[in-house]
Every structure is written in C-alpha cells, then in structure tokens.
Structure 1
Amino acid sequence: MKNLILIGMPGCGKSTIGKLAAMKLGIPFVDVDEYIENKYDAKVSEIFEKKGEKFFRDLESTCIKELSEKTDLVISTGGGSVLREENMINLKANGVIMFIDRSPEDIISDVDIASRPLLAQGSERIYTLYNERINLYTKYCDHHITNNSSIDTVVNTLLLQYIVKK
C-alpha cells in the first residue's frame, strides 16, 4: 500500500491528523522531525541553532528518502520539506500527498510558537512562511484538505481521498 504523506505549515495539524489516520488504517505513523531527532539524537531546534537551516534540510532530505522507500506508513513531514523538490519526488514515488491547509490565524491562535524553530522570531512570521510556501504545497499535493472543522471530519475526509487516490 502506498504511504499517506501529510504536508503543510507548522501547526496545521499534520501530526494529530496523521496519528488518527494511522490508527484508523492500522499502519504505523512517522513524524519526520521525530525520526530525525531519534536518528541523530538531537532536537530539531538544537540542530537549527547549532548547525543552521541548510544542515537541517540536508538531514531532512536523507530521512525523507529513507522513509519514502518504505510502504504502509502515514508520514507527517516538516513544514519546510516542500522547499526541496527532491523530497517531494521521493515521497510521491511511493505515496499519496495530502496538503493539510489551515489558516495562519488559526495556527497562531493555538500553537506554541516558541517550540517551532522557524517561528521563534514571532507569530507574524507564520504569514510570511505561508505566503512563501502555499504555491509549493498546492503544486505537490494530490489532494488539498482544509483543516477548519472537527478533527474527526478532517481525518475522515483525508481517508476518503487517500483511498480514492491510492
């Protein structure tokens, strides 16, 4: 079975939605950021702080390639994974890519911005990132899901689209 890949902004709900979808499908859930942290024994925020974004993106691409070669996974990517076309090519080769879209206002209203390296500069940064990335999210996705209702509704919509696309 093809992997179910979730892309979208930090705080859009990828991990929460991904865990529920994986549970309903009876397959493992993998968060790419957690995968990186476990593999390299370092927090994403530490990697950003000590080595910089480019170094982190290199690690992210390596891990995405590894995960994309597996099957039967729900994979939640980091918000910036779309910045490298190679990541999307690797993920699409064995997966169905779903863009979880959530408004910047909703993200700001309930996400701990301080725990997100690229948002540490303040909540207004979310608008900049959204505007920079929205075209990439829509370009690479197989289906666009708006996260503006209950989690159960979003998960059920996602699963219906996944079953149709796989």
Structure 2
Amino acid sequence: MPSEQSIFLIGPMGAGKTTIGRLLSCEMHLEFVDSDKFIEERCGANIPWIFDMEGEVGFRDREEQAIDLLTQRRGLVLATGGGAVMRAENRQHLGSRGIVIYLCTSVEQQIARTSKDKNRPLLQTANPAQVLRELFKKRDPLYREVAHVVLQTDQRNPRWVVNEIKKRIKALS
C-alpha cells in the first residue's frame, strides 16, 4: 500500500477502532488520530460537555469539520466516532479519500467493552442495550454503504484484526 494512502476505521462504539487503529498505525508506520480526541483538543472540552452545551447537532457539526480536515491528510489511520457516518458529507469524504474499514461488532460485545465508560453521552441511560440496538439499526446500513472492507471484531484478538486488515488492503490494491 502506498504510504500516502489513509485508512479510516468506522463502526459502533466498542468495536475496537481506537485499539486497532493504534496497533495498525504502528505496524504500518502511519500517523494515528482519533477524531473524538481531535475534536476535544480543538475545543478544549470533552465530548460529554460538548453534548451538554451544544447538543448532538452541535457536536455533529464539529465532527463534520474534523472529518473533512482529517480525511484530507495522507498517510493516516483515523478512528472515527460511531456516529460519524450519520452525515452524508462525512460518508462522502471518508469513502473518496481513503480506504474505509468497518469494524463490526455485536451489541453484547459493545456493552462488555463500554459499560464503565462515562465518556459516551448516548449510553448514559437506563437501557444502554436498547440504545445500542437502535443505533445499530440506523447506522449499520450506512457503515456498509461507505466501507471498502467489513470485518467482524467479536472475540477477535486485536493483532489478528490488524493482520486481517493488512491482508484485505493488500487484496484491494
């Protein structure tokens, strides 16, 4: 793969985008960026605070700007937020500016991986499993629409996932 090519990881919260992204960037000698962390650094505030002050629409506006900027970079592994695919502009930028990998996971796996994380505003509810099921119904078709590669991460070792991504990218070339 040419080193100037970028890889964009999409999928629901808890799919392993950040963990896989860090490992993949190390192995491929590419810069790693987490779009949520990028947004927090640019605003000087965390995601829950942005949601509280600006609502989801305000956050999604910030996310759209970040995705536009970040997808213009070359030689990058980008872990996006779970809802980044909700906006057509983001799907367009992701799909046309790099290789998009959809890290797919079950709701059960998401709950296991995110249950103690207070930095996820959409899960601060009495029934996070129901929220995750509803999000999956809306977002899964959008993830699949933009993805060049779909990869199941349930019960998969992060190293295996990284090696599989590298294999699939090579097959695309």
Is residue 7 of structure 1 aligned with residue 14 of structure 2? no
Is residue 160 of structure 1 aligned with residue 167 of structure 2? yes
Q: Where do residues 33-72 of structure 1 align in structure 2 (5 Å cutoff)?
A: 33-72=36-75
Q: Which runs of 5+ in 1 are unaligned?
A: none
Is the CA contact (8 Å cut-off) linking 1:99 and 1:143 kept in structure 2?
Answer: yes
For 1:23 and 1:145, the matched residues in 2 are separated by 20
For 2:75 and 2:96, the matched residues in 1 are separated by 13
Q: Which runs of 5+ in 2 are unaligned?
A: none
For 1:39 and 1:164, the matched residues in 2 are separated by 36
Is the CA contact (8 Å cut-off) linking 1:101 and 1:146 kept in structure 2?
Answer: yes
For 2:139 and 2:17, the matched residues in 1 are separated by 16
Is the CA contact (8 Å cut-off) linking 1:4 and 1:162 kept in structure 2?
Answer: no
Q: Where do residues 91-130 of structure 1 align in structure 2 (5 Å cutoff)?
A: 91-111=94-114, 112-121=116-125, 122-124=127-129, 125-130=131-136
Q: CA deviation at 1:40?
A: 1.0
For 2:170 and 2:37, the matched residues in 1 are separated by 26
For 2:50 and 2:77, the matched residues in 1 are separated by 24
CA RMSD, Structure 1 to Structure 2 (Å): 1.2
Give the share of equivalent positions with the same residue, in percent.
Answer: 32
Normalization by structure 1: what TM-score? 0.95
Q: Where do residues 127-142 of structure 1 align in structure 2 (5 Å cutoff)?
A: 127-142=133-148
SS of equivalent residue, structure 2 residue 134: helix
Q: CA deviation at 1:162?
A: 2.1
For 2:113 and 2:60, the matched residues in 1 are separated by 26
For 1:63 and 1:115, the matched residues in 2 are separated by 19
**Matched residue pairs, number?**
166
